[in-house]
């Protein structure tokens, strides 16, 4: 019997039964402990007019004549009603027992399912180039929502610093570099010239080219030095009348900048001695120097210019510094290789590609 409108929990329900001119009432109370609202919790039997009292009756013996109920009939009816009450009580108790058993059985089944198929909690440690900070943090929310129990733990820094940490024993599941150089240095299949130490950290079969970025020349708000191209930059550096920010030599964006210097025939050591260069340990530090108007210009990635709201006045061509490719790979030291592979696959979905491309990356 399900929940019934207008019936309050704990309020008795009276069901009158008329038998041979006499009224018997079965009273039932709705249970507050069961969702199905069974009424068989308490059954009370009431008896009316089964007593030794005299009753008034309009019989053939005359109006108002006093009669007495026969004792034998009283006992007989009493026994019948008690038998019915006992039967109803037994049915109610059996119903409750079955339902309680089913409810407990369902709970036990759910608990057993949870025990046999628990949500496995794990951390995926991702070392990624600093230029990926904004995009990967946005992707983190999506991935963790689709993969309960998996937590992405990011370390963002220059690819050179991350490579050194891996070499020195830092735990990492996935490495995403801002250049091929740092990935080659830990990939045993790379040429000996690129991996002179014979380091072997890349899980073979997982390395891929994930993204392409652009190297750009940016200026602070208002462009006070009037630098509008790499040609302007080269002339101003030779004249020694500006200050430019670039990445350290172990930072990919710094290495791309060195190639631009070589393209224009500029000597970095001479420029540094003349005081026209400042350095950053990663691309974010270079970006900050430009954003805070500490320098006249800087060389960073298109994605960092977008994230910082800086004005990009020129793009470096492939002839100037080559392509800016971001390789990614699962490391063979990973204890969660299947999950790491799944994460790399997720980064290649259309949803993630849209996140990368809106800030200036090109998905490969």
Cα–Cα dist 244/229, whole Å: 13
Residues of the chain with pLDDT under 50: 1-11, 18-19, 23-24, 29-71, 73-74, 81, 85-86, 88-100, 110, 113-114
Sign for the CA dihedral angle at 160, 163, 168, 169 comes to: positive
How high is the pLDDT of residue 108?
53
Residue identified by tokens 């026969």 is: 70
- Paired strand residues for 58: 63
Cα–Cα dist 126/133, whole Å: 11
How many other C-beta atoms can be found within 10 angstroms of the C-beta atom of residue 39?
Answer: 19
Q: What is the CATH number of domain 215-315?
A: 3.40.190.10
| Domain limits, CATH 3.40.190.10, in the chain | 122-213+324-363, 215-315
Cα–Cα dist 181/255, whole Å: 10
What the block records as the tokens of 303 is 């994605």
How high is the pLDDT of residue 106?
52
How high is the pLDDT of residue 57?
39
Three-state secondary-structure class, residue 134: helix
How high is the pLDDT of residue 120?
77
- Fold observed for domain 122-213+324-363: D-Maltodextrin-Binding Protein; domain 2 (3.40.190)
Cα–Cα dist 55/67, whole Å: 6
Label residues 214-230 b or e (16+ Cβ within 10 Å = b): bbbbbbbeeeebebeeb
* Cα–Cα distances in angstroms (integers) from residue 335 to residues 34, 176, 186, 200, 340, in the given order: 48, 17, 18, 16, 9
Percent above pLDDT 70 for the chain:
67
Task: Indicate the pTM of the whole model.
Answer: 0.66
How high is the pLDDT of residue 1?
44
């Amino acid at each position: 019997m399900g929940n019934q409108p207008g019936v309050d929990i704990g309020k008795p329900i009276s069901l009158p039964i008329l038998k041979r001119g006499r009224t018997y009432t079965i009273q039932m109370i709705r249970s507050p402990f069961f969702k199905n609202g069974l009424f068989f919790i308490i059954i009370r039997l009431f008896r009316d007019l089964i007593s030794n009292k005299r009753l008034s009756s309009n019989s053939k013996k005359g109006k108002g004549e006093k009669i007495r109920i026969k004792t034998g009939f009283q006992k007989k009816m009493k026994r019948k009603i008690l038998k019915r009450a006992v039967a109803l009580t037994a049915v109610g108790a059996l119903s409750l027992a079955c339902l309680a058993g089913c409810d407990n059985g369902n709970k036990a089944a759910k608990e057993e399912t949870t025990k046999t198929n628990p949500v496995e909690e794990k951390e995926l440690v991702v070392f990624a180039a600093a230029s990926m900070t904004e995009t990967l943090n946005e992707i983190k929310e999506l991935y963790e929502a689709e993969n309960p129990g998996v937590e992405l733990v990011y370390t963002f820094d220059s690819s050179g610093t991350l490579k050194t940490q891996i070499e020195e024993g830092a735990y990492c599941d996935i490495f995403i570099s801002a250049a091929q150089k740092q990935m080659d240095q830990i990939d045993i299949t790379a040429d000996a010239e690129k991996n002179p130490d014979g380091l072997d950290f890349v899980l073979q079969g997982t390395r891929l080219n994930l993204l392409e970025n652009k190297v750009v020349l940016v200026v602070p708000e208002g462009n006070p030095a009037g630098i509008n191209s790499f040609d302007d930059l080269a002339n101003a550096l030779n004249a020694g009348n500006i200050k430019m920010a670039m990445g350290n030599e172990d930072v990919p964006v710094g290495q791309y900048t060195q190639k631009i210097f070589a393209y224009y025939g500029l000597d970095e050591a001479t420029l540094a001695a003349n005081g026209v260069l400042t350095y950053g340990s990663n691309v974010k530090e270079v970006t900050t120097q430009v954003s805070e108007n500490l320098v006249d210009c800087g060389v960073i990635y298109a994605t960092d210019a977008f994230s910082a709201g800086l004005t990009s006045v020129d793009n470096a061509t492939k002839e100037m510094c080559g392509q800016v490719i971001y390789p990614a790979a699962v490391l063979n030291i990973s204890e969660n290789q299947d999950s790491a592979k799944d994460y790399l696959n997720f980064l290649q979905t259309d949803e993630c590609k849209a996140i990368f491309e809106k800030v200036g990356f090109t998905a490969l």
